Chains A and B, each alone.
Chain A
């Protein structure tokens, strides 16, 4: 563990924690995390992971920064309007912490590229805003046995869960199939309080760091639901479903497929 004097200062509050120490900080610096989406959730997740010194952060996003994003997507700015979101976030994260290597993947995730993109990373973070991608990420993580930290937000409510494939539940154990197109409104249609992804993203980043350090209990087997208006955190138990189509005893989904496009309109 050879830290530079600068790193000793930067990570001093981590190093003095018994659960982190120099050894834990070294694990953080060697970790490789891939985030899908540099939007409301991806921005705070990446921001805190970069601050923590996560060695490699890959960001998958093929969208560009718009003015309507800046109410909640804190890694972007008026200076990066029109810039690819992965690229914009990379500039922010690397200026916060030059120790971090940010890899930009300016593609839309699909059944053909997902396994190849995920295979070199230790932990996957879902910060997407649509069901087809959410299910695709879940299924790919189950098949590759990659830990997945998933977050979702709408209006004043958010959810977080950690999926440790085959150890605990997966997204399909929780919701077998995506809801029909149009049933669940998008943030674009229903709105979202700008700070909400900050709360949920910070919880996701915490889960990622715990997984890297191997400390504490991950949110595997639970869904944490945050209600901002009522100030309630509810931790709901989610059993692993032995008949789950992807992680059950006799899986029926053994290959990845893309859901029809109309799902993407949400």
Chain B
């Protein structure tokens, strides 16, 4: 599989909803259209809600993957201006 270039990393472990989304939204505002943000999170509900919200904003979810018992990796490519 092709490696995806990550332009920004964001660690929101320890955050709960809605701050998982608040911080993810602020994170994606800091990159340009076409760039990719990688978010690491540990709030189970957010593993479902944050990717959905990102799609609703018009961005592309490239990956949501559980990497161990408690943590997820989410990769999002910015598709539209803020």
Contact = CB atoms under 8 A, between A and B. Distances in A.
Interface in A1-60: 1, 3, 8-9, 12-13, 15-16, 18, 21-23
Contacts of A12: 18-19, 22
Q: Give chain B's interface residue range (CB within 8 Å of chain A).
A: 10 to 19
Contact of B18 (A1, A16, A18, A21): A16
Contacts of A15: 22, 25-26
A13 B25 CA distance: 12
B22 A23 contact: no
Given A21-B82, A23-B82, A16 B22 contact: yes
Contacts of A21: 25-26, 29, 82
Interface in B11-29: 18-19, 21-23, 25-26, 29
Q: Give chain A's interface residue range (CB within 8 Å of chain B).
A: 10 to 19
Contact of B26 (A1, A9, A13, A18): A1
Nearest to B23: A8
Given A8-B23, A16-B53, A22 B18 contact: no
Contacts, number: 31
Nearest to A15: B22
Given A21-B82, A23-B82, A16 B21 contact: yes
Interface centre among B18, B19, B22, B53, by most chain A C-beta atoms within 10 angstroms, is B22
Contacts of B25: 15-16, 21-22
Contacts of B26: 1, 3, 15, 21-22
A62 to B, nearest CB: 41
B81 to A, nearest CB: 10
A9 B25 CA distance: 14
A23 to B, nearest CB: 5
24 contacts: A1-B26, A1-B29, A3-B26, A8-B22, A8-B23, A12-B18, A12-B22, A13-B18, A15-B22, A15-B25, A15-B26, A16-B18, A16-B22, A16-B53, A18-B58, A18-B82, A21-B25, A21-B26, A21-B29, A21-B82, A22-B25, A22-B26, A22-B29, A23-B82
